[in-house]
Amino acid sequence: NGVTSVAFSPNGQFILTGSRDDTAILWDLEGQIIKTFEGYSNIVTSVAFSPNGQFILTGSWNGTAILWDLEGQKIKSFEGHSNEVTSVAFSPNGQFILTGSWDGTAILWDLEGQKIKSFEGHSNEVTSVAFSPKGQFILTGSKDNTQKLWSTTVQLNDASKPKELATLVAIDTSDWIVTTPDGLFDASPGAMNWMHYSVFDQKNREYLAIELEQLKARYYEPGLLQKILGNTNEGLRPVENFDTVALYPKIKLAQIDSTGTLQLQLSERNGGIGKVSLFINGKEVEEEANPLPRRENAQRDSSIQIDLSKYRNYLFRHPDSTNTVSIRVYNEAGWLKSPAFNLEYQVAAARSRGGEGTGNNSSWTGKFDPKLYVITIGTSDYSGTKLDLQYGDQDATMMARAFQAVGTALLEADSLEVHCLTTARADSTGLEGTPIAWHNAGKNDIRSVFDKIKNQAKAEDIVVVYLSGHGVTQGGTDQTLFYYLTKDIASEDALSDPATRRAYAISSEELTDWLKAIPALKQVLIIDACNSGQIVENLTGGTKALNSSQIRALDRMQDRTGMFVLSGSAADKVSYEASEYGQGLLTYALLEGMRSATRSVTDGKEMVKMIDVMTLFQYARDRVPELATSINGIQTPMLGFPSRAASFDIGILNDQASVAIPITKGKPIMIRSTFLNEATYRDDLRLADSLEAAFREETKKGADADLVYVDVYDYPNAYSLGGFYRQRADGIALKLRLLHGDEAPVTLEIPVTEDLEKLVKLIVRAVKKEIP
């Protein structure tokens, strides 16, 4: 009859089969039957060898499992399931047996047939069981479409229930979710749009579907399964058990009257009344529209009126446009919010009092003239030299030039405004004579540019913000903030001082507030950050990924502003600057994408290449790992899209723009050199340091550089210098070799000179001439 289960012996010399004919058979590799195991009165559903190959285990529809020796003798029968046994397994040390059954349970046994623990929690038949390779975990699979992970650290005399560690759910072939009994979860982006918590509201006698998205701040734990399995250095953050949920209040009334006033009536459930957040067209314009009164034992109001005229810059101006006004209400503790309650709102055309003439606000309506604002910020020159970078300034400048080029092709000149803030000298940016406005990249200067755009922008506009430089995270769990370090920070240690952070670092909260204050509803944030310290953790056994604290910080920014986010990261300064392209890899990928990852549309008879933000971001995300195959510290960028927002165009690639996008070609890599004085066996002249400085200056030329210097001793396919020198009466005599992998060293002839600075220039010139 049909074969139901098969297994190889540990030494690979034998095969075991189970069958619907109520038997199991041991075979050799020639197909000869060695032994038939008989005695069941029903189908054999599962078979397994012991780790030492001396015993076999069978499970059957008769509800039992049997341990046999290889001679076919029954050693022990395992009885305890109330329905068919579907799956059996040996522990890696051979001392325990695991069975799964249609009764919805799995049972852990010792070899004497003593039941140790019953694993209960599935809502349907258990179809498969397995031990982890080291035996510390058990995995069960079920017809309830879940897999459960359990701990095996139990004792015979321990009466407690087995510890369920996690439940794994596959939504489809690409989306998944992992949950723990205390409420922590991790999920794919697609799953977060489909999954929800179901909570019963006792007061109103109704179930509430709380989206998984709504519990992110409290229970979202990126890399959850890896942390449970111990495959990462990050531990699980503690949370309260998910026994009860303090619910947000019920919205009994929500309407906008003829004067443009939003009226709300709230009714408390079991979690009190917390803050009320107001969104217009998906953008948070008021985080706290129901502030707590400043008096003892004060409570928030249940009746609220909000004058929408205060937020008119966030409203679409054209009378044919419909705005969406959304309200989210929180519980009193502030960690759980309702789904968005949406109201449609059309702005009435403004009229002057007492007549049909136009008033002061008449020019505000009836317009649709979008403008693109671009802010690129780069920091290379920090206070002191410890944090100094090579590419921050030039990358910001290149991105500004690129957006100026593609934006000019998309919009009229007066509908494009590009600001570039760097730590370079004003006369060294190459932006002189261009429409791009250059500013110094101090924190106050950056804030001033945001303030200027805040006062000019309207709802239809687009804002693109690009940051290049050092970025770190501070704080823990829900209080984690991402900080962009501006030029006045001398070291990451300085961030321990709150005053220094406030004065010279830009937190994700500040950046969120700055962006929220800009009425433009289409917003893009790009972060190409070198993360000082150990912000990047190895979460997945070799793949570099964003620290989960940083994911939560950036995720909260995206939720509140409705922006498109692309965040790349490097583990340290060396990884950030280790690029043969002479710029950050994410920046290079974006510039490359502007020239190649376009969306073609037909405009009359002409084919136009549109630069779409989502297409560009996806290209950069996929391209960075390809560019970084030799750089261990570069991670795959994190990409975030607003769940309900459509992508949009941020430029057009025409012939002029294609030429103007400042992208570099791959350049030779130079790494650290070694020089010794023949007399002292030390580098008394510090020739290596002088050469390093010269190569760094060359690298700063960006696209115009002939080579790129990386401050390491080993790098794939890189060049280095080595040599001895003597200080003679007529000058410095140098024996110099150019080294390149396994190739034979190349001798470079350098004239004798008394001047060390001249010697360095001669060496650099000889290297450039020799390197192809």
With a CB cutoff of 8 Å and minimum separation 6, the contacts of 406 are 594, 611, 650, 651, 652, 653, 657, 661
pLDDT value at 363 more than 70: no
Task: Tell me the range of 202-211, 322-331, 574-583 where mean pLDDT is highest.
Answer: 322-331
Task: Tell me the range of 322-326, 374-378, 493-497, 648-652 where mean pLDDT is highest.
Answer: 374-378
**Main-chain dihedrals φ then ψ at residue 636, nearest 5 degrees:** -70, 130
pLDDT value at 769 more than 70: yes
Split at pLDDT 50, 70, 90, the class of 100 is: very high
Q: What is the DSSP letter of 2?
A: -
Residues 389 and 579: their CA atoms lie apart, in Å, by 13
Q: Which CATH class is domain 372-660?
A: alpha beta
pLDDT value at 529 more than 70: yes
Please answer whether residues 471 and 484 qualify as being in contact, where contact means their C-beta atoms are separated by less than 8 angstroms: yes
Domain boundary assignment for the chain: 3-170, 250-354, 372-660, 669-770
Q: What is the pLDDT of residues 62-74, one digit of tens each?
A: 999 999 999 999 9
Average pLDDT over residues 718-743: 93
Q: What is the pLDDT of residues 624-659, one digit of tens each?
A: 887 776 565 556 777 777 666 678 889 999 999 998
Lowest mean pLDDT segment, chosen from 131-135, 705-709, 750-754 = 705-709
Q: What is the pLDDT of residues 232-261, one digit of tens each?
A: 888 887 776 556 788 999 999 999 998 899
pLDDT at position 491 is 80
pTM above 0.75, yes or no: no
pLDDT value at 572 more than 70: no
Lowest mean pLDDT segment, chosen from 149-153, 662-666, 743-747 = 662-666
Average pLDDT over residues 102-130: 94
Q: Which CATH class is domain 669-770?
A: alpha beta
Split at pLDDT 50, 70, 90, the class of 682 is: very high
Split at pLDDT 50, 70, 90, the class of 538 is: very low
Please answer whether residues 309 and 315 qualify as being in contact, where contact means their C-beta atoms are separated by less than 8 angstroms: no
Average pLDDT over residues 279-293: 88
Tokens of 160: 């407690």
Residues 650 and 404: their CA atoms lie apart, in Å, by 11
Residues 46 and 89: their CA atoms lie apart, in Å, by 9
pLDDT value at 530 more than 70: no
Please answer whether residues 35 and 44 qualify as being in contact, where contact means their C-beta atoms are separated by less than 8 angstroms: no
Please answer whether residues 145 and 125 qualify as being in contact, where contact means their C-beta atoms are separated by less than 8 angstroms: no
For 706-737, the three-class secondary structure string (H helix, E strand, C coil) is: CCEECCCCCCCCCEEEEEEEEEECCEEEEEEE
pLDDT value at 351 more than 60: no
Q: How many CA atoms lie within 13 A of 161 on its CB side?
A: 8
Please answer whether residues 546 and 536 qualify as being in contact, where contact means their C-beta atoms are separated by less than 8 angstroms: yes
Helices (H), 271-411: 392-410
Q: At what angle do helices 585-596 and 392-410 cross, to 10 degrees?
A: 20
581 or 138, which is more confident: 138
pLDDT value at 581 more than 80: no
Lowest mean pLDDT segment, chosen from 44-58, 111-125, 151-165, 609-623 = 151-165
Q: What is the pLDDT of residues 33-45, one digit of tens each?
A: 999 999 888 999 9
Please give the C-alpha separations between residue 316 and each of 171, 199, 257, 644, in angstroms, as whole numbers.
38, 37, 18, 18
Lowest mean pLDDT segment, chosen from 11-20, 70-79, 344-353 = 344-353
| Share of residues in the chain with pLDDT > 70 (%) | 86
Give kind and range of the element (H or E) at residue 21: none
Q: Which residues pair with 87 in a beta bridge?
A: 100
Amino acid at residue number 736: L
With a CB cutoff of 8 Å and minimum separation 6, the contacts of 181 are 164, 241, 242
pLDDT at position 494 is 80
Sign of the C-alpha dihedral, residues 421, 424, 426, 432? negative
Q: Which residue has the tokens 């006033």?
A: 261
Split at pLDDT 50, 70, 90, the class of 213 is: low
Q: Which residues pair with 325 in a beta bridge?
A: 280, 343
pLDDT at position 540 is 20
What is the distance of C-alpha 186 from the center of its chain? Answer: 13
Q: What mean pLDDT is reported for the chain?
A: 84
Helix (H, G, I), strand (E, B) or coil at 198: strand
Helices (H), 411-497: 443-456
Q: What is the pLDDT of residues 468-524, one digit of tens each?
A: 988 887 765 445 678 899 999 888 778 788 888 889 999 888 998 899 899 998 899
Could you list the beta-strand ranges (E) of 462-576: 462-474, 481-485, 505-507, 522-530, 537-538, 544-545, 564-570
pLDDT at position 116 is 92
| Share of residues in the chain with pLDDT > 90 (%) | 50
Please give the C-alpha separations between residue 471 and each of 506, 528, 571, in angstroms, as whole numbers.
9, 9, 11
Split at pLDDT 50, 70, 90, the class of 536 is: very low
Please work out, in degrees rounded to the nearest 5, the angle formed at the alpha carbon of residue 308 by the alpha carbons of 306 and 312.
155
Lowest mean pLDDT segment, chosen from 320-324, 423-427, 434-438 = 320-324
Give kind and range of the element (H or E) at residue 78: strand 74-79
Amino acid at residue number 422: T
pLDDT at position 604 is 67
Give the chain's length.
Answer: 772
Number of H helices, E strands in the chain: 14, 47
Residues 264 and 327: their CA atoms lie apart, in Å, by 9
Q: Which residue has the tokens 């001895």?
A: 724
Residues 312 and 314: their CA atoms lie apart, in Å, by 5
- Same fold across 3-170 and 669-770: no
- Please compute Rg for the chain using Cα positions: 33
pLDDT value at 678 more than 80: yes
Lowest mean pLDDT segment, chosen from 51-60, 94-103, 360-369, 608-617 = 360-369
Tokens of 244: 């009860």
Q: What is the pLDDT of residues 132-165, one digit of tens each?
A: 999 999 999 999 999 999 998 754 445 567 889 9
Please answer whether residues 147 and 167 qualify as being in contact, where contact means their C-beta atoms are separated by less than 8 angstroms: yes
Residues 440 and 450: their CA atoms lie apart, in Å, by 14
Q: What superfamily would CATH give domain 3-170?
A: YVTN repeat-like/Quinoprotein amine dehydrogenase (2.130.10.10)
With a CB cutoff of 8 Å and minimum separation 6, the contacts of 586 are 526, 528, 566, 568, 620, 624, 637
Q: 250-354 adopts what CATH topology?
A: Immunoglobulin-like (2.60.40)
